[in-house]
Amino acid sequence: MSAELTLDEVTRRWLRHVQGRLDLSEASLVTYRRVGAHVQAWGEGRSLVGLDLAPYAQIRRNAGLAPRTLCLELRVIGVLFRWAVTTGLAPAAGTLRVPRVKVDPKRFVVNHSTPNPSDVARVLDEMAPDDFGLALLVIARTGARVGEVLRLRGCDVDRRTGRVSFGQVEGASKSGIRSFPLDASTLAELAPRPRTGTAPLFDFGEITCPIQALERRMARACDAAGVPRFTPHGLRRMVVSRLMRAQVDPGTAATLTGHSVQVMLRHYQQVTEGDQRAAVARAPLGDLVDSADGGGTAPR
């Protein structure tokens, strides 16, 4: 019976399966539904026996799909196929042929740019005065993960204590729940938002994948402001660096950003030449005079 099922039929069943999984984030579900729609259209009446994805890949490339996005779609189809085999909907001896997709590293690179606060302010000025701009402001002032911010609810902001709780929503809690004290300016910006209940704090209308939508708006705003493009994750690195330069205790900083201390210091803190020079001057390593702690003249 399972050998008679075609790719489009199996895809429909898989989509119903993943829709019921509580461990998947909404962003993952959006991706699965998007890829599933393309697979259903291409796989209508197509057998899963000896399935070759090369024609699918060619069609998607002809439609203008970027190589990285195509690689993602092929991985999703691989997940779908393995599920079909595991559940008996595809023959256990079935094979899936996945074409290799070449990604030009000169064109498709991970953006590790970390902006400075003044550049971020210029980009915010170029953003439309909508909920995307407000969400970006919250990320820049808290260093929270983009998914944590975009999925905030009205009840996650406590106006009485001035704190916001990140990670309360299923699928947006990579490092668990943590509380962050907001500054007065950010609280004022959020004042008109929903104050109670589980209503979303931000309204993105009919947009089903707001993370990608935010990144596109950020790229346009960066270009308009004349600053190097950065991502929401770049803002996270910026906040860690600002905390460290303000000589905040690493343990305290880690509780604010949701990192372990080791990960925060190794991967997120951005050390500049100016930071190094300031450290040497603060020690001060050029003064060979004993101090009370044995480390030279105490900094003033």
pLDDT in tens, 96-123: 999 988 876 665 555 678 899 999 999 9
Using N-to-C axis directions, what is the helix angle for 210-225 and 117-126, rounded to 10°? Answer: 100
Say if pTM beats, i.e. exceeds, 0.85: no
Burial 218-231 (b: 16+ CB within 10 A, else e): beebbeebebebbb
DSSP3 helix / strand / coil % (the chain, rounded to 5): 50, 5, 40
Most confident range (mean pLDDT) of 186-190, 208-212, 247-251, 264-268 is 186-190
**Pairing state between β 96-97 and 163-166:** unpaired
pLDDT surpasses 70 at 174: no
Query: Which domains can be identified in the chain, with CATH numbers?
Result: 7-87 (1.10.150), 117-279 (1.10.443.10)
Beta carbons of 70 and 57 less than 8 angstroms apart: yes
- Alpha-carbon distance 295 to 150, whole Å? 47
Which of 196-200, 219-223, 274-278 has the lowest average pLDDT?
Answer: 274-278
State the average pLDDT over residues 34-41. 93
CB under 8 Å to 31, separation ≥6 — which residues? 72, 76, 209
Res 171: pLDDT: 53
Res 297: pLDDT: 45
The beta strand positions in the chain, using DSSP E, are 51-52, 96-97, 157-158, 163-166, 178-181
CB under 8 Å to 6, separation ≥6 — which residues? 43, 44, 45, 46, 47, 48
CB under 8 Å to 246, separation ≥6 — which residues? none
